[in-house]
Chain A
Amino acid sequence: MVVQQRIHYGQASRLPEIVETPSRYRNPIGKYIVRRSSRCTSCGRCAKLCPYGVHVRYEGYSQPLRPRSDRCIGTKCEANKFFCVRNCPQQALSVGINPIMETLGDYRWTPEMIVGHWYMAETGNLPVVDLEYSLGFSGGGFDKMRFRIPDKKDYVDIPDVEIDTSIDLNRRDDGRPQRTLSLPCYSGGMSFGSTALSVIVGRARAAKRLNTLTSTGEGGYPLEFVPYRNSVITQIATGLFGVREETIQYAPVVEFKYAQGAKPGLGGHLLGDKVTPEVARMRETVVGSALFSPFPFHSVYSVEDHKKHIDWVKEINPLALVSVKVSTPTDADMVAVGSYYAGAHIVHFDGCYGGTGAAPDIAKKNIAMPIEYAIPKVHRFLIAEGLRNKVCLMASGGVRNAMDVAKAIALGADGCVIGTADLIALECVRCANCESGRGCPRGIATTDPELGCMLTEEWVEQRLVNMYMAWRKQWCELLRQFGMKSMRDLVGRSDLLVHLDYLDEDERRKYTPAPKPGAAL
């Protein structure tokens, strides 16, 4: 049996390359908007001065191009000598907050968080614009948690490449391969059908480069995955779409999806409009007919039944690890223990605020508990049962950004599963119309013959690589502040977290206050 070697970013050569990958759109949206009036004489001074590339002017053109407002750092630039507005001899330039920001985003994914992630996906760096990309308006959970103010003397001054952000997926010591991911997260299941082929294949390519994983979701296993199969989890969900012996044999990890955070207890749902001929062929169903995955597995009514299924998978693929994806009911802790005893290597909890291609709004808002509660609950119970070191605990469902990942790990998770942030990196605006008609008008969550071809695999791959490399920079800085060299040291360190609602007024003032939503919300 081949046991894979632990790979992590202890070696600089392993870091995937960041390549600037601009927006697909002619007019990218930024926090600020720069306007150039008709007084402009195209003298080119602004283009020479601005180091951020807001003003683009090609020699020989009589007119400068429209300003790249998304690159503008806004009013804080007033302090700089090169501030274009002040330097314009014709006073033709003005800078202000982009009014469109008011219409973008929601309580969980704020406009600044969305724009910040677009920037990361484009550049691979953390935004230079003053964007709050780590906290949302939700008024609870991660948005009320902060890392304690670190002691300056704890700081370890080491470069990013020497910091270990890896996690191990197999802790059972059962003779199956160890799988070590270089990041403390992998990409959650998105099926072919709910999402464009270029998106899911692009995710697989990014996963391979990042030495992490992505998941098929329950839409079958397109052949395009095969070159990246060592980075692709095969999901077995209740509809069993596309689950075949070979797709189980391809996979380094096989995931049983019992429930999904956005629709716990309800099973999957793909509306008829999105069941195109290709999707129907892949899922072996009828074109245009809505697909409901049942809930639950009708062959699983006990932990023993569950074990039986895991045993089958282990028998079919002796090298595969097994993940069990569940939602967050009140007895989440018992579910985790049951899953471990049934043979799971990974227990993946998907909290109620997780993403989806389609779910009833009543389910998304109301069913099951937020992941912020489930993580410490399960972590504590696993410790009490003496099992915490034997199972990999992954969290998802409302884990939006790098700091959410770090907070989830400090609460007790080993790592996180990411879905929505991947789509944001691909310029999703969270208009929430993934489910309807032809699907996503931006070409992400659609298999429409026209819309589904708006993205290329290469573009998707690089945008994701860039975003995760930017996240990694945030994690490295956090770990350095607390004197840590490995993400593994952060697991369960809830003592490093504070919750604003549990602090006295004086203490609370020391931390960034919870952001408030604008009038639009």
Chain B
Amino acid sequence: MPKKYAIHTKNANPRFPPVGKYATVEFREDCAGCCSACVKKKCVYGIFKENFLHWSSMQEPEYLYICKGCYRCVQDCTKGIFSMSINPEYRALGDEYWDPDIISSTWAQAHTGRIPVSGAGYRGPFVGQGFDSIWTDMSEIVRPTRDGIHGREYINTTVELSRRPTRLKFNQDMSLAMDLPPILEVPLPVLFQKPEFGVLGEGVLLSVLKAAAAMGSLMFLKPEDYSPAVAQYRESIVPCLTAQDYSEHADMIRNSRMVELAYGPSIEREYSRLRSIKPGLAIAVGMPLDAATADRALALAQTDVDTIHLYGSSHGREVDSNAPRYMKDMIRQVHLKLLQGRVRDKINLVFSGGMAMAEHMAKSLICGADAVAVDVILLVALECRLCYRCKENKPCPVKLEEVPPEWGAQRILNLVSSWRNQLIEVMGAFGIREARRVRGETGRSLWFEDLEKENFGPLFGIRKVAGIG
């Protein structure tokens, strides 16, 4: 058995007090002054220990990151002077897609490296849009086990980014009669790319690159983002070039394992020239995830490309459309087109845009991706609140421009480790030991539309409400 892959996590404390969900409100004019029996002293989580300054300066309400909302102070106070509210700052985090719960959970994962575990049942809606309309399957008995993460079995999350020959040729003596293309693998189906917005100083880039190097992943990066410090991590960088400018970056290409070319007509003509700069170079082609993507991907798959990188919107949708489809539908469309064209096994598909949770990665694979590339979530790991002030050139409330690369890299490693462990949980449940085998495995998933039709259709007839209702 090969050595187990592991991402080493350790606590990376937040630099700024994270925005907490709850705020306690006190009506102090009614306080009985029974300080020795004050409920604040009995708090199980000790949230008031650090808050004595609030008392002295009479600030209120107190926004409490670590308050768990147990209501004991509210319900036990002698005079009932406590109430609780949702911190308005918490509500203002992010937007409709990047909601406060996603941001808060990401902070906790980046802080500790632990997967989110909680008690009680699921607290959310029955079903949601996009990926939230898919459940993953499991099996009761005849399946491998998640004991993999505890030492018994090996669940492999490695995926390939290099193309695969569809057949092998042998000589009479059974030796290979063909050259095999070099293999480019990453140990988990997560790649990085630079977000479209944000305070993206060198500290942030170095944090991501350092994490990519430590975990064996890659980051897509444009040449203008290179600096001497960044170039130290060239092995972990996929330079994003164009047919017009790649010849100016021969050094960059020689030092990289993979290069991404922006899609353009007859882009395949450039492959041989690229590979003449570095033989065996893996080549990706990047293109927007729009209505023409599936056809373009099919045509590209006939060429000698290794990976197609499809860029969706930061909110997990198709781009350049008045009625943008969800990422899950776009992945299905491209994947199925290549399957119908009988070329799916030749190449790899990397999807990016709106990958906000570990389940998005797992469900992307189920829909047909080989890997995902993440961007905005990297900023969130570095404490970004997605306030979008940077878009208006206003100062960043968490000073992303001052991120120390060591700290930032650890936050990202923690987050990715948590994502990987969550992927293993899901794979263990549905019983697949290889991330590569998850690709397109919709048989291990349950889709809202199908479940409604199969189970409610016979009872209630035809559904009259479109979508999830």
Contacts and interface: CB of A to CB of B under 8 A. Distances in A.
Interface stretch (A348-356, A458-466, A476-484): A348-356
Nearest to A354: B121
B228 interface: no
Interface in B14-66: 22, 44-45
Contact of B71 (A107, A261, A373, A429): A429
Contacts of A440: 119
Contact of B454 (A102, A358, A377): A377
A223 interface: no
Contacts of B68: 431, 433, 441
A394 interface: no
A337 interface: no
Q: Classify chain A: how many residues form its interface, as a range.
A: 35 or more
A172 interface: no
Interface string B272-290: 0000000000000000000
Contacts of A355: 120-121
Interface string B342-361: 00000000000000011100
A74 B276 CA distance: 80
Interface stretch (A43-51, A134-142, A205-213, A227-235): A134-142
B154 to A, nearest CB: 16
A140 B127 contact: yes
A226 to B, nearest CB: 28
Contacts of A108: 121-124
Contacts of A139: 125-127, 468-469
A26 B146 contact: no
Interface string A340-380: 00000000000011111111111111111110111011001
Given A265-B428, A266-B428, A359 B118 contact: yes
B120 A432 contact: yes
Interface string B431-469: 100000000000000100001101110111111110011
B122 A353 contact: yes
Interface in B115-143: 115-127, 134-143
A386 interface: no
Nearest to A363: B425
Contacts of B145: 267, 294-296, 298
A467 B330 CA distance: 48
> Interface of chain A, helix or strand or loop or mixed?
loop
Contacts of B362: 362, 366
A508 to B, nearest CB: 8
B117 A435 contact: yes
Contacts of B115: 360-362
B333 interface: no
A106 interface: yes
A264 B138 contact: yes
Given A26-B80, A398-B121, A442-B70, A267 B422 contact: no
B135 A362 contact: no
B232 interface: no
A158 interface: no
B184 interface: no
B149 to A, nearest CB: 9
A445 interface: yes
B191 to A, nearest CB: 20
A449 interface: no
Interface in A475-521: 494, 497-505, 519-520
Nearest to A259: B140
Nearest to A265: B429
Contacts of A259: 138, 140
Interface in B346-397: 357-359, 362-363
B250 interface: no
A232 B362 CA distance: 40
B105 interface: yes
Contact of A361 (B77, B85, B116, B141): B116
Nearest to A419: B121
A269 interface: yes
A506 B74 CA distance: 45
B425 A362 contact: yes
A434 B120 contact: yes
Nearest to A518: B86
A502 B428 CA distance: 36
A456 interface: no
A377 to B, nearest CB: 5
Contacts of A99: 83, 85
Given A26-B80, A258-B140, A330-B137, A433 B117 contact: no
A474 to B, nearest CB: 22
B302 interface: no
B429 A264 contact: yes
Given A140-B468, A367-B429, A502-B463, A360 B77 contact: no
Contacts of B468: 139-140
Nearest to B469: A501
B426 interface: yes
A372 B145 CA distance: 27
Given A265-B139, A367-B136, A377-B455, A100 B74 contact: yes
Contact of B121 (A66, A262, A331): A262
B76 to A, nearest CB: 6
A376 B456 contact: yes
Interface in B64-103: 68-72, 74-80, 83-86, 91
Q: Which of A25, A262, A265 is the most central at the interface, judged by chain B CB atoms within 10 Å of its CB?
A: A265
Interface in A27-46: 27-29
Interface stretch (A11-19, A174-182, A299-307): A299-307
B359 A365 contact: yes
Given A296-B143, A302-B141, A366 B135 contact: yes
A107 B123 contact: yes
A143 interface: yes
A29 B146 contact: no
B107 interface: no
A490 to B, nearest CB: 14
B425 A266 contact: yes
B327 to A, nearest CB: 16
B4 interface: no
Nearest to B357: A362
B352 to A, nearest CB: 20
A141 B463 contact: no
Contacts of A358: 117-119
9 contacts: A26-B76, A295-B146, A366-B363, A433-B119, A434-B120, A451-B44, A499-B459, A520-B86, A520-B91
Given A302-B142, A352-B122, 18 more contacts: A29-B75, A99-B85, A102-B86, A103-B22, A137-B125, A266-B429, A269-B117, A296-B143, A298-B145, A301-B141, A361-B115, A362-B422, A366-B426, A367-B137, A367-B429, A436-B119, A441-B70, A441-B72
Which A-B residue pairs are the 4 nearest by beta carbons? A434-B119, A140-B126, A265-B429, A265-B138
Interface of B: 22, 44-45, 68-72, 74-80, 83-86, 91, 105, 115-127, 134-143, 145-147, 150, 357-359, 362-363, 422, 425-426, 428-431, 446, 451-452, 454-456, 458-465, 468-469
Interface of A: 23, 25-29, 66, 99-100, 102-104, 106-109, 137-141, 143-144, 258-259, 261-262, 264-267, 269, 271, 292, 294-298, 300-303, 305-306, 326-327, 329-331, 335, 352-370, 372-374, 376-377, 380, 397-398, 411, 420, 428-438, 440-442, 445, 451, 494, 497-505, 519-520
